[in-house]
Amino acid sequence: VFSHIFNFPGNYWSAASAVINHILDQENGDIKGKKIALVYHNSAYGKEPIRTLEELAKKHGFELSLLPVDHPGQEQKSQWLQLRREKPDYITMWGWGVMNQVAIQEAANIRFPMEKFIGVWWSGSENDVIPAG
């Protein structure tokens, strides 16, 4: 019927939704009461998923904590101390540049399970993950 098909473009809102859908899959569809943290680059780019995640938190009943990281992202000790105290079930990262490598290393330092550490597409090149082992 249609001679052309155009895929709907992905964006940061759909990426945030995909992260939550993945977590829902991992938790058999129930994330009520779970703690999910967003570690994000403190810029317009990094703040893109916040409203989507806030709405999804209301819908699914999870607790969302927001942890901004100022550019360039080399200093994250306070955020990771807070994460260690809060003990989130999942961490999602909206990182950029050197912030990614530092965040991944800090997650490894606190022995956060990497299968529960989810980054947006800018957050996980081989250069970012190899130093953490």
Q: Report, at the CATH architecture level, how domain 31-132 is classified.
A: 3-Layer(aba) Sandwich (3.40)
pLDDT digits (tens, 9 = 90+) for 37-72: 999 999 999 999 999 999 999 999 999 999 999 999
pLDDT digits (tens, 9 = 90+) for 22-39: 999 999 999 999 999 999
Query: Is the confidence at residue 2, as pLDDT, over 90?
Result: no
**pLDDT, position 29:** 97
**With b meaning 16 or more CB within 10 Å and e meaning fewer, what string describes 6-19?**
eeeeeebeebbbeb
CA 103/CA 83 separation, integer angstroms = 11
Q: Closest Cα to residue 33, out of 56, 60, 51, 65?
A: 60
The structural domains of the chain, with segments of one domain joined by +, span 31-132
pTM listed for this prediction: 0.89
